[in-house]
Chains A and B, each alone.
Chain A
Amino acid sequence: MVDTCFLSQGLTTLAGLLLLPFGSLAASQIEVTVENFLRVLTGRIPSSTPRSKRLLSDDRSNILIYMTGHGGNGFLKFQDSEEITNIELADAFEQMWQKRRYNELLFIIDTCQGASMYERFYSPNIMALASSQVGEDSLSHQPDPAVGVHLMDRYTFYVLEFLEEINPASQTNMNDLFQVCPKSLCVSTPGHRTDLFQRDPKNVLITDFFGSVRKVEITTETLSLQPDSGVIESSYKKDQMVEELMEPLKYAEQLPVAQIIHQKPKLKDWHPPGGFILGLWALIIMVFFKTYGIKHMKFIF
């Protein structure tokens, strides 16, 4: 069985897909916390974060957010130890809207009582789908006989089955996605919310969110590239010159026992005593002189 970083039993997973430019985030299990998730969405991340861990979206990006795991009325569990509430999520999306970090956003959630998570959204251009209504449980698909646990949820299974027939040129729209997994198959009632979306769902293509099609413009103009021979020649000459001047170098000895035994440890720089020590000594001296009188000072100083 192949180990993948994203396979986890009952823990939440995050997938953000961008349309322009195409990209996806990479994060391992320990890093998936509520704080990190909200930071990635709103863009408030430390400056040393590498590009592959950022959401590099702008106001022309369509974002797909898919969340699954255990949840309840108004919350979703992260890593079995913390939760994210629907209000936090709605506020994060509003921050994204204010900072123009998305053009359109599709939010799919597959947890128990998933519809409660999208009830509080108030930012425009958000379309949401959930696998069950408030008060209902989302159920999982059949168990795997080899592993002994359920590997997939019903709603996810049927959505995946539906999406596998979509190709980048497909014209299926969102209304078809809303029909996926009726109550007879899913046991729970899937729900959706489109009132915040400005376009009509029957005009929204599935490939707007689930595919990445790069627009290619073909041109017949040609451009000839000429290498700058001046730069090549000068760099070559510089290397040859340097070669003659340097003395031969050598490799370091890996375990120089004699040198190690006789090496002197570096003495740490002396720092003046800190505030606490100074305060403590000042207190001691003050108490001493208070008790025994100031006349003792001439014997000390």
Chain B
Amino acid sequence: MAAAVRIFLLVLLLLGPGGWGQAEPPRDSLREELVITPLPSGDVAATFQFRTRWDSELQREWVSHYRLFPKALGQLISKYSLRELHLSLTQGFWRTRYWGTPFLQAPSGAELWAWFQETVTDVDESWKELSNVLSGIFCASLNFIDSTNTVTPTASFKPLGLANGTDHSFLRYAVLPREVVCTENLTPWKKLLPCSSKAGLSVLLKADRLFHTSYHSQAVHIRPVCRNARCTSVSWELRQTLSVVFDAFVTGQGKKDWSLFRMFSRTLTEPCPLALESRVYVDITSYGQDNETLEVYPPPLTTYQDVILGTRKTYAVYDLLDAAVVSNSRSLNIQLKWKRPPENEAPPVPFLYAQRYVSGYGLQSGELSTLLYNTHPYRAFPVLLLDSVPWYLRLYVHTLTITSKGKENKPSERSPQPAPPPPLPLHVPQHLSSQGYIHYQPAQDRMQPHLLEMLIQLPANSITKVSIQFERALLKWTEYTPDPNHGFYVSPSVLSALVPSVVAAKPGDWEESPLFNSLFPVSDSSSYFVRLYTEPLLVSLPTPDFSMPYNVVCLTCTVVAVCYGSFYNLLTRTFQIEEPRKGGLAKRLANLVRRARGVPPL
């Protein structure tokens, strides 16, 4: 009987997970890729992307069976009625000036922004619960996100997925610049991957090498995407991205040759069995035809050419699912060898990059300045700048000045006018008076930060400076962190721009193109969308003397003790006369002897 049951079970298992009835094709798929880009400064950037696409309507049906899509995130989407979720944890700063435009940049610290569905009644309540749940899942202190660092942008952060309407009251954005990323954040992130860290590209994710880098950014993006080319139904896409930049001189001991083993201390041995696609791309654009400077080993079987971020680029492709590349007997260790050192030519400068700093002296006031560089020789383009400043830096908005090339630049004026009109008051909505866009929401103490959003037209080949003066506030003594002299962080500014491309991109099929080409939806091929972040700032606030409560308590208690004690003694002390006891040692000894004899003492 037992044997019959066992055979029955075996037959059941052989039929596959579909079981009886029709075999249902799996409704989720995994694509993973790694892009290795040598940067102009000699460093190497590696970007991992793991994309799980799930053809299911989470909002309408009750889902209980999760296969590749992690259950923790799927339950989050249905419970909080999310439309999009973007969470990133970053350590370091992407130097756009020297490294080029990134695929996807994230600000230092933790950044969380989410679009909720229109059915949510209390967005703030859902936002608070969402940040608490995510802090538990990713072991990060996201529970510090509250109304003092959350803003509702009015024009930036449009949804990256399918969208019916964009009512910005369902959007929330928060940054925690102080958050530190460490292995405890990487471990739960890796657990969400279908193959965890056992097979495929995720074997390279070893914490001790990944954190030995100049820039480390891990992110989770959830958004709805088109299921097919006609886009008649919706699938959910989960992208987990991890970008690292290896410092050539620290990691490579000064030599510019690098390999996968040198970077990650691992090689690729097998693809992830659950993956539909598993590929490694190596950027060989600058060294493509001229084979004498560079050699990529093993030689790639295919190459891929496309317009990425406005320029034409060539990639060597290694497909892990191809047995010729990776098999049981052979592991993949991609090596890049320099045959001749590259000529010392100036590295190409990206068309848009930005810098931000605090100036001023003392602990009373200061000035916040952002420099926006447009290095395109003849094209001007618009940039949307979002600034979220904490409430304890009181901004003086009447000192907001925007200058380009030495002249004043009104936000998003279409053409430079010979006689500039008088500056527009900022409390008047701009749509009434001109073609500019400025949105300013003042801060409320301990409740809300400042929000400043501006659409600025950057003239060609210019530097635009946006500056605003502020005054520092004195906090209550319990509001200081244990290390108040470290300073307080100001979250980075966000620049959203449509940068003109050098080469027009052909709109291709989104499903066929590699993952790094489909991060932002593009409608117009003459420019590409990029979102850059500036550095976070560290501002010192005036601190009180924290030992004062102790000093006051000591002093008061001493004074009270002295006064009260003296009065008490004066009032209650009585005096009695006491016989003086005189006599030396001899008299005492004699008294001792007399007492022993029973005779009264002297």
- Interface residues of chain A, those whose CB is within 8 Å of chain B, are 2-6, 26, 28-31, 48-53, 79-82, 220, 222, 224, 226-227, 229, 232-233, 235-236, 238-239, 242-244, 246-257, 260-266
**Inter-subunit contact B163/A254 (CB<8 Å):** no
The contact of B155 among A6, A238, A250, A260, by CB within 8 Å, is A260
Q: How many residues of B contact A (CB 8 A)?
A: 77
B2: chain A residues within 8 A (beta carbon): 220, 222
**Inter-subunit contact B234/A249 (CB<8 Å):** yes
A79: chain B residues within 8 A (beta carbon): 482
The contact of B136 among A53, A82, A256, A257, by CB within 8 Å, is A53
CB distance from B79 to the nearest CB of A (A): 13
Interface residues of B, dominant DSSP: loop
The contact of B9 among A52, A224, A264, A265, by CB within 8 Å, is A224
Offer 15 A-B interface pairs, CB within 8 angstroms, sorted by A.
A5-B182, A30-B141, A31-B141, A48-B128, A48-B129, A48-B132, A50-B135, A226-B19, A233-B21, A242-B233, A244-B232, A248-B231, A249-B162, A255-B497, A262-B431
Q: Is B253 an interface residue (CB 8 A)?
A: no
The contact of B231 among A6, A222, A249, by CB within 8 Å, is A249
CA distance A255 to B524 in the complex (A): 11
A262: chain B residues within 8 A (beta carbon): 431
One digit per residue, 1 when the CB lies within 8 angstroms of any chain A CB and 0 when it does not, for chain B 198-217 equals 00000000011001000000
Q: Which 8 A-B pairs have the closest CB atoms?
A: A50-B136, A229-B21, A251-B521, A252-B163, A81-B482, A227-B19, A48-B132, A79-B482
**Inter-subunit contact B183/A260 (CB<8 Å):** no
Q: Is B379 an interface residue (CB 8 A)?
A: no
The contact of A50 among B132, B144, B162, B520, by CB within 8 Å, is B132
CA distance A6 to B183 in the complex (A): 10
CA distance A235 to B234 in the complex (A): 15
**With A5-B180, A30-B144, A50-B137 as given contacts, are A226 and B455 in contact (CB-CB < 8 Å)?**
no
CA distance A270 to B144 in the complex (A): 31
Q: Is B289 an interface residue (CB 8 A)?
A: no
Q: Is B139 an interface residue (CB 8 A)?
A: yes
CA distance A6 to B182 in the complex (A): 10
CA distance A239 to B57 in the complex (A): 8
- Residues from 488 to 536 in B contacting A, C-beta threshold 8 Å: 496-498, 520-521, 523, 529
Q: Is B300 an interface residue (CB 8 A)?
A: no
**Inter-subunit contact A263/B155 (CB<8 Å):** yes
Q: Which residue of B lies closest to A246 (CB)?
A: B232
- Interface residues of chain B, those whose CB is within 8 Å of chain A, are 2, 5-6, 8-9, 12, 18-22, 24, 55, 57, 61, 91, 128-129, 132-133, 135-137, 139-141, 143-144, 154-155, 158-164, 166, 169, 178, 180-185, 207-208, 211, 226, 230-234, 382, 384, 412, 429-431, 435-437, 439, 455, 481-483, 496-498, 520-521, 523, 529, 546
CA distance A255 to B55 in the complex (A): 28
**Inter-subunit contact A261/B159 (CB<8 Å):** no
**With A51-B136, A252-B166 as given contacts, are A2 and B183 in contact (CB-CB < 8 Å)?**
yes
CA distance A244 to B232 in the complex (A): 7
**Inter-subunit contact A227/B21 (CB<8 Å):** yes
The total of Cβ contacts below 8 Å across the A-B interface reads 167
A253: chain B residues within 8 A (beta carbon): 158, 523
B6: chain A residues within 8 A (beta carbon): 222
A30: chain B residues within 8 A (beta carbon): 141, 144, 178, 481
CA distance A82 to B482 in the complex (A): 9
CB distance from B581 to the nearest CB of A (A): 38
CB distance from A260 to the nearest CB of B (A): 5
**Inter-subunit contact B128/A222 (CB<8 Å):** no
CA distance A27 to B274 in the complex (A): 34
**With A4-B183, A4-B184 as given contacts, are A265 and B21 in contact (CB-CB < 8 Å)?**
no
CA distance A261 to B498 in the complex (A): 15
The contact of A255 among B19, B207, B384, by CB within 8 Å, is B384
A263: chain B residues within 8 A (beta carbon): 154-155, 431, 437
B436: chain A residues within 8 A (beta carbon): 261
11 extra interchain contacts, Cβ-Cβ under 8 A, other than A31-B141, A249-B232, A261-B412? A3-B180, A3-B182, A50-B133, A52-B137, A226-B20, A236-B24, A239-B57, A249-B234, A254-B498, A254-B521, A260-B155
B154: chain A residues within 8 A (beta carbon): 263, 265
A30, A233, A260, A263: most-surrounded residue (chain B CB, <10 A) = A260
CA distance A49 to B301 in the complex (A): 51
Q: Which residue of A lies closest to B384 (CB)?
A: A255
